[in-house]
Amino acid sequence: MSEAANLSEAAVALGRRRFVQVVTAVLSGVLTGLDRAWAVELHSLSPDQSSTLLAMIHTIAPHDGLDDAAYALVAASLDADAASSAESRRVLTEGLAGLGVEFAHDPEPVRVRRLQAVEPSPFFQSVRIKTLLVLYNNPIAWTHFGYEGEAFSKGGYLLRGFNDLKWLPDVPIAAAGRMPV
C-alpha cells in the first residue's frame, strides 16, 4: 500500500481544490483534466490504451460525481507498474488489446458484459485490486465518500462529532461512560 500512499501524496500535490467534473483528455504521455486543473504523466501506455484502461476502471467502480483525477491516479499507478515490470506490462497490454479501442466507446452494459467475460483473468483482477488500492486512497476520494481521516491534528473527534448521531436514542451512561472533558 506504500505505493498507493505515495500516489495520494501526489494527489495532494495536484491541489486540494474541488475539481470540476471533466471528461479526461488523453494526450500523448499525459492524462489531464480538460480544464488542465490536473495532469498525470504516463510512461508506458499509449493514448488508446489509456482510454481503454480508464473506461475499464470506471466500469469496475462507477461513481457518478467522483472526479476523473481519482480515476487517472489508478491508471497512472498501473502505468508505473507496466513501466517497471515486463510481466505487468505484458498482462496489462494484452488485456487492453483484448478489450480493443472500441471498448471506451461502448455503453456501460456492454462494457460490463465484456469485463465479465475476462473476470477470472490476472489482467482483470490486477486492475480491480489496483482500483481498490488507489481510487479510494487519496484526498479526492476521501472528500467524496466522507472519510474524514486523521483528526489528531484537530484534537480528535471527541468534541467534533464522534457522538453526534441523533436519529437513534442515546445510550444509557451505565453501558458507556462520561466524557473525559
Strand partners, 41: 30
Q: Give me the least distance between CB of 49 and other proteins, in Å please.
A: 20
Q: Give me the least distance between CB of 75 and other proteins, in Å please.
A: 16
Give the SS3 label for residue 39: strand
Residues in contact with other proteins by the rule CB under 8 A? 1-2, 4-5, 8-9, 59-63, 112, 115, 128-129, 132-137, 141-142, 145-153, 155-158, 160-165, 167-171, 174-180
Q: Give me the least distance between CB of 27 and other proteins, in Å please.
A: 28
Helical axes 68-84 vs 2-14, angle rounded to 10°:
130
Q: How many residues does the chain have?
A: 181
Q: Do the Cβ atoms of 7 and 137 come closer than 8 Å?
A: yes
Closer to other proteins by Cβ: residue 24 or 59: 59
Q: Is 166 left (phi over 0), alpha (psi -120 to 50) or beta?
A: alpha
- Among 129, 64, 62, CA closest to 91: 129
Closer to other proteins by Cβ: residue 32 or 53: 53
Closer to other proteins by Cβ: residue 4 or 72: 4
Dihedrals phi, psi of 40, to nearest 5 degrees = -125, 125
Give the SS3 label for residue 4: helix
Closer to other proteins by Cβ: residue 36 or 178: 178
Closer to other proteins by Cβ: residue 18 or 145: 145
Q: Give me the least distance between CB of 16 and other proteins, in Å please.
A: 15
Q: Give me the least distance between CB of 178 and other proteins, in Å please.
A: 6
Give the SS3 label for residue 41: strand
